[in-house]
Amino acid sequence: MLAVVFDESFEITAKKKRKSRGEKGRSAGLKRLGDVIQDALDDAGIDRSQVAGVGLGAPGPLDLKKGVLLNAPNLGWTNAPVRKVLESRFGCPVAVINDVDAGVYGEYRFGAAAEARTAVGIFPGTGIGGGGVFRGELIRGERQSCMEIGHLAVQPGGVKCGCGQIGCLETVASRLSIAAAALVAAYRGQAPFMLEHSGGELSNICSGLLARSIEAGDKAVENIVRRAASWIGIGVSTMVQLLVPDVVVLGGGLVEAMPDLYLSEVEKSARKNVMSVYKNSFVLKPAELGDYAAVIGAAAWARAVTEGTDAGGMPA
């Protein structure tokens, strides 16, 4: 959990981190969430009465009207009343949005997609998150977040995804799918550096190790990454044909670890698979804000909500 205190100009005045896992149970987790916010406020020397609003990027599907985190498997939470708990504790408006939406909104307001009319963000990681902004508004459903790019069906007859569907983009292009394929290549003797430095354990294969493996000459790993990036390009082409964004932002560890290789492969695939009329309609950019995209995006969204400047149905 990362809590950051921003002033009116979105300059950072304090920040605090706590592990997401600790005390067991939803109630203990929500208390921990409030505690890390309080820690950051204490560091900034700010009293609760001075807080204009709290923005939260939550890792899972939400009831946007109620501010309830419906399901967060990695935290073990279901139906967590995040807005109610935080509003009661801090006495100010709380805006709860999906964490990827928060990251995309942050890039739109302050980063790679600043001043775009329409922006799409795609963040490959353990899964593949997506979000979009149109004319300053997050693209969302009436009650829930959307833009589930990772669950586009791209490979009929493919493997089963964690969501229960077959052949989702995540099954061929997430970091988890890349790591699994790289481990198979290592066991087959095709990636000696990977075998040596991963210890044969899937959990040890991070984006940085994939990049080092490629630099060390593991051609099989490079081919796996390029193939996965080309699948992301197909996802980009789909989003372009649906929304015609000015900017498509790619973020996450894979992009940060090997920007040139990864971005070039995504771009080549995207422009190859999009309709000719759209080939030059968008710019592909790496994310600029890193870990702070979601926190500054959530803070900016909270300000939009409290000032009544968003038209997306969030309560002001």
Could you tell me how far CA 265 lies from the centroid of its own chain? Answer: 20
Which pLDDT belongs to residue 309?
61
The pLDDT value given to residue 61 = 84
**Does 314 score more than 80 pLDDT?**
no
Say what the pLDDT of residue 22 is.
53
Could you give the residue ranges of the DSSP H alpha helices within 96-218? Answer: 99-110, 170-173, 175-187, 192-198, 207-215
CA dist., res. 205 & res. 19, Å (int): 21
114-286 folds as Nucleotidyltransferase; domain 5 (3.30.420)
What is the CA angle 49-50-53, rounded to 5? 95
Q: Are 67 and 94 in contact (CB under 8 A)?
A: yes
Dist. CA 255–CA 175, nearest whole Å: 11
Which of 29-38, 99-108, 143-152 is predicted with the least confidence, judged by mean pLDDT?
A: 143-152
pLDDT attached to residue 261: 97
Question: Is the four-CA dihedral 161, 75, 91, 41 of positive or negative sign?
Answer: negative
pTM: 0.89
Q: What is the residue whose two structure tokens read 């981190």?
A: 17
Spans of all domains in the chain? 2-103+291-306, 114-286
- Taking all residues of the chain, what is their mean pLDDT, rounded to a whole number? 91
What topology does CATH give the domain 2-103+291-306?
A: Nucleotidyltransferase; domain 5 (3.30.420)
Is there a shared CATH topology between the 2-103+291-306 domain and the 114-286 domain?
yes
Q: pLDDT tens across 257-312, in order? A: 999 999 999 999 999 999 999 999 999 999 999 889 999 999 999 999 888 765 44
Reported confidence tier of residue 228, pLDDT bands at 50, 70, 90: very high
What is the C-alpha separation between 121 and 263, in angstroms, rounded? 13
Predicted local confidence at residue 312, as pLDDT = 41
Give the amino acid at 251.
G
pLDDT digits (tens, 9 = 90+) for 56-105: 998 888 998 899 998 876 677 889 999 999 999 999 999 999 999 999 99
